[in-house]
Amino acid sequence: MKPATIPAVLRAAAVKFGDSEALADGPLRLGFGQLLERVQLVARAFAASGVRPGDRVAVVLPNTAAWVLSALGALYTGAVLVPVNTRFTGAETVDLLVRSRASALVVAADFLGTDRYAAIRATGTELPELTTVVRVPLEQPHTPVPGTLGWDEFLARGDGVPVAEVEARADAVRPDDVSDILFTSGTTGRSKGVLSAHRQVVEVAEAWAGCGRVRAADRYLVVNPFFHSFGYKAGIVVCLLTGAAIVPQAVFTAADTLEVIERERISVLPGAPTIFQSLLPERAGRDLSSLRLAVTGAASVPASLVRRMRAELGFETVLTAYGLTEAVVVTMCRPGDDAGLVAATSGRATAGFEVALRAPAGEVVVRGPNVMLGYLDDPEATAQAVDGEGWLRTGDVGVLDEAGNLAITGRVKDMYICGGFNVYPAEIEHALAELAGVRDVAVIGVADERLGEVGKAFVVRSGGLSAEAVLGFCRGRLANYKVPRSVEFVAELPRNASGKVLKRLLSKEKA
């Protein structure tokens, strides 16, 4: 019987793959059996800290071994994982902690020179349900902070809880139990918490691994953030299922990534197209002969890029895929598909999904056992997204060829993708409405050679507001990929009779 929960997958991996390397993060090297033991210790520490089955555990860490251990430890003890975007400001993070009712938080103490917990506390928001805070030192030695635990101090708590207790908790996790809540921005400007079950996480990871033919000999460089389903479900869980080694990378730079590929003999490297566009000009003199599989998507992929990835980076297989947080992976190309098909489409349905187009716009709708359970505490939004027959509205517009290959041609609304991250203009507009001197504002995505698309703000101002003031205001309140790259001041925004901004006219002005 195949494992259908994440704890069961981890246990099966320890038995099947044993001492094979499971996790390689700098000097830390763990086999699959050792990984299970470390996860059990983290689970015991959560139990000793009062985390109960069903409680929510938030993780605000970059791609590191600590993320892997924290997430799997929380899931092993029966808790619900809440990954949080490390690019979020303190205010954005607090919003997720409040809405998820997180009882425990594992947070970077010093990622990229910023104390993430200090940023949370600086908001002044009380978090009465948050009873355990673990600060993980990444760049500097641990400095104690009142009311928090250091990583080693946290793990020491686990010594007081017998392994049998967390084994019983792992046994009690059921396939239909909620495994995680991934927050994704909505077109209304407020994020939605997407609920997934353990069986869904396992099934979509199995499908992804099957399409890519991931195997135990692979070494998987996970550049995609763990807080995103691409890094967590199509990364960590895929490796647990297949026996591939997890090699996390906290911050992407082309030079560092090429060095890791060469040193660690990386064979699997998924990522947004911008990742590969950045690697190509820096590849000279590097031994990239270990590279085998690349999976990309989240933006248009030129056929020339696919060909160059094969010819110049040495990938045997380059695939594209289409997914969303509410369904993770819906379609995927297969090995053997030619470069034109890979570039022009996102492949065929996988993970038990049906894919169809709904009139009048040709919106992509999907149905299957791995559609989300629903949105956290938002039955109205859930009903709007998933109809009575189980069809999930994706908000994307596409076409299907005779073989069932899906090509995304546009968006029902005005979301754009910056460097692989979905950006919803309404959220930026909502923030800018609070800036003194902004009378009216609209944000659209415009083409960018490196990032695919970036934001441009059209602002109707009063007084002497400057473009730098607008951008600086955004930097203090929004994750950096949401911050517009340019500002244009206009006398008025084009609107229809009902007052809705005609963004297509703004787009034409930029064409």
Instruction: Check which CATH number belongs to the domain holding 465 and give it.
Output: 3.30.300.30
Euclidean distance between CA atoms 467 and 166, whole angstroms: 54
| SS3 category, 369 | coil
Residue 344's Cβ-side half-sphere holds a number of Cα atoms within 13 Å equal to 10
CATH number at residue 234: 3.40.50.12780
- Which pLDDT does position 427 carry in this prediction? 81
Across the strands, what pairs with 299?
none
250 and 169 in a common domain: no
Q: Is residue 3 part of a domain?
A: no
CATH number at residue 115: 3.40.50.980
357 and 240 in a common domain: yes
135 and 165 in a common domain: yes
Per the CB < 8 A criterion, the answer to whether 440 and 460 are in contact is yes
392 and 259 in a common domain: yes
Describe the chain by its helix, strand, coil percentages, rounded to 5.
35, 25, 40
Using the 3D structure, point to which of 110, 139, 173 is the last residue of a domain.
Answer: 173
Euclidean distance between CA atoms 421 and 416, whole angstroms: 8
137 and 107 in a common domain: yes
303 and 247 in a common domain: yes
351 and 428 in a common domain: no
The DSSP string of 388-450 is: TT-PEEEEEEEEE-TT--EEEEEESS--EEETTEEE-HHHHHHHHTTSTTEEEEEEEEEEETT
- Which pLDDT does position 388 carry in this prediction? 96
Q: What is the pLDDT tens value at each position of the chain, 511 positions in all?
A: 899 999 999 999 999 999 999 999 999 999 999 999 999 999 999 999 999 999 999 999 999 999 999 999 999 999 999 999 998 889 999 999 999 999 999 999 989 888 899 999 999 999 999 999 999 999 888 888 999 999 999 999 999 999 999 999 999 999 999 999 999 854 335 789 999 999 999 999 999 999 999 999 999 999 999 999 999 999 999 999 999 999 999 999 999 999 999 999 999 999 988 899 899 999 999 999 999 999 998 656 778 889 999 999 999 999 999 999 999 999 999 999 998 899 889 999 999 999 999 998 789 999 999 999 999 999 999 999 999 999 999 988 889 999 999 998 766 777 789 999 988 787 898 788 879 898 888 999 999 999 999 999 999 998 889 999 999 999 999 999 999 999 999 998 887 544 557 887 887 665 4
Residue from 110, 112, 80 nearest 96 by CA: 80
Euclidean distance between CA atoms 136 and 455, whole angstroms: 33
Euclidean distance between CA atoms 85 and 108, whole angstroms: 12
| SS3 category, 243 | coil
Per the CB < 8 A criterion, the answer to whether 404 and 366 are in contact is no
The type of residue at 184 is T
State how many domains the chain has.
Answer: 3
Euclidean distance between CA atoms 356 and 362, whole angstroms: 9
Question: By residue range, what is the domain housing residue 483?
Answer: 423-510
Q: Is residue 464 part of a domain?
A: yes
Using the 3D structure, point to which of 384, 410, 436 is the last residue of a domain.
Answer: 410
223 and 111 in a common domain: no
- Return phi, psi of residue 58, to 5°: -95, 140
227 and 132 in a common domain: no
154 and 255 in a common domain: no
Using the 3D structure, point to which of 381, 410, 439 is the last residue of a domain.
Answer: 410
The type of residue at 399 is V
| SS3 category, 481 | helix
Residue from 109, 105, 108 nearest 143 by CA: 109
